[in-house]
Structure 1
Amino acid sequence: MIVDVPLGKDPIEYVWGEMVPGIGGAAATLSLKVYSDSTLGLREFEAARLRIAQINGCLFCQDWRTERDGQVVEETFDESVREWRTTDAFDERTRLAAEYAELFATDHHSIDDDFWKRMLAEYDQREVVELSMCLGSWLSFGRLNRVLGLDTACVLPSHR
């Protein structure tokens, strides 16, 4: 970790809450709302989230599994996300979520009309906007935590 955290302080709460309370509090609210308010299906949500986590290298994010109503994705889901192009474990929406996440994070300039045609055949415009906001949150906050070295100390406040 590159940030000096006072002894006895939770690194995430200190960095996000005390170091930059105005920005950090707003960022934390957005981060938590992505999980609490998303209407996307669990598998497509997790495929996109995990693909961003893999690209960011965020250790915590790669280990995390979102739970909804007692449901989580299967133990091997992260392997399927890595192999999103060829896995038989994904339907088209889930595969597109992983593909969009990868493009969003690594080559957004290559998102072309062909991609949007395929995407909009499976997702309505509201879902595309929601997924885009989720991707933006995961990309920025997961990368922030990884770059600052917080990913080894990260525990979401609602999951303590």
Structure 2
Amino acid sequence: MFLDVPEGKDPIAYVWGELVPGIGPAAATAATSVYEHSTLPLREFEAARLRIAQINGCVFCQDWRTERDGQKVEAGFDDEVRQWRTSGALDDRARIAAEYAERYALDHHGIDDEFWSRMRALYTDREIVELSMCLGSWLAFGRLNRVLGLDTVCVLPSHSG
């Protein structure tokens, strides 16, 4: 991390909560809202989230696993998402969630009618909008953490050392 964080301050809390008080707390609220209010099933949510994390390169985001009602995706799920085209562990909805995440992040101009036909066969309009909002949040805030080097100061145990 290259930002100057006052001694004794948590870098994440400082950057997201104190450094730009008119924006940081609002951004933090937006970022946490997708976890608190999403109605998407966990595997689809995590397939999309992990694909964005992989593309962003955010170490923390790649290591994070969303938990709902004491449940998390299985170990190795991140590898399945990385190989979403050929993975036998992803059902059609999780696979297209990962595909949408990749297209959203890397080629949003290339999202064509053929893709939307496949997407709309599996997801309702409400779910598409919800997933799109989640993708936007993860893309923006995961990149912010990665670009500013925050992802290396909030690393979970599996990436430390």
Is the TM-score greater than 0.5?
A: yes
Q: Distance in 1 between matches of 2:129 and 2:92?
A: 18
Code of the aligned partner of 1:12: I
Pairwise CA distance, 1:100: 0.2
Percent of aligned pairs with the same amino acid: 75
Aligned residue runs from structure 1 range 42-57, under 5 A: 42-57=42-57
Q: Which residue of 1 aligns with 2:97?
A: 97
Pairwise CA distance, 1:26: 0.7
For residue 74 of structure 1, give the secondary structure of its aligned residue in structure 2.
coil
Q: Which residue of 2 aligns with 1:24?
A: 24
Q: Distance in 1 between matches of 2:153 and 2:135?
A: 22
Q: Distance in 1 between matches of 2:21 and 2:45?
A: 29
Aligned residue runs from structure 1 range 22-101, under 5 A: 22-101=22-101
Runs of 5+ in structure 1 lacking a partner? 156-160
For residue 22 of structure 2, give the secondary structure of its aligned residue in structure 1.
helix
Q: Which residue of 2 aligns with 1:129?
A: 129
1:112 is the counterpart of 2:112:
yes
Pairwise CA distance, 1:154: 2.8
Pairwise CA distance, 1:78: 0.3
Instruction: For residues 21-61 of structure 1, give each alpha carbon's deviation from its aligned partner in whole angstroms, at most 9, with x where no partner exists.
Output: 11111110011110010000000000000000000000000
Q: Distance in 2 between matches of 1:121 and 1:22?
A: 41
Query: Runs of 4 or more off by more than 6 Å in structure 1?
Result: none
For residue 21 of structure 1, give the secondary structure of its aligned residue in structure 2.
coil
With normalisation by structure 2, the TM-score equals 0.95
Code of the aligned partner of 1:148: L
Q: Would you say how many aligned residue pairs link Structure 1 and Structure 2? A: 155
RMSD: 0.8
Q: Distance in 2 between matches of 1:49 and 1:82?
A: 11
Q: Which residue of 2 aligns with 1:153?
A: 153
Pairwise CA distance, 1:16: 1.1
Instruction: For residues 74-106 of structure 1, give each alpha carbon's deviation from its aligned partner in whole angstroms, at most 9, with x where no partner exists.
Output: 001000000000000011100000000000000
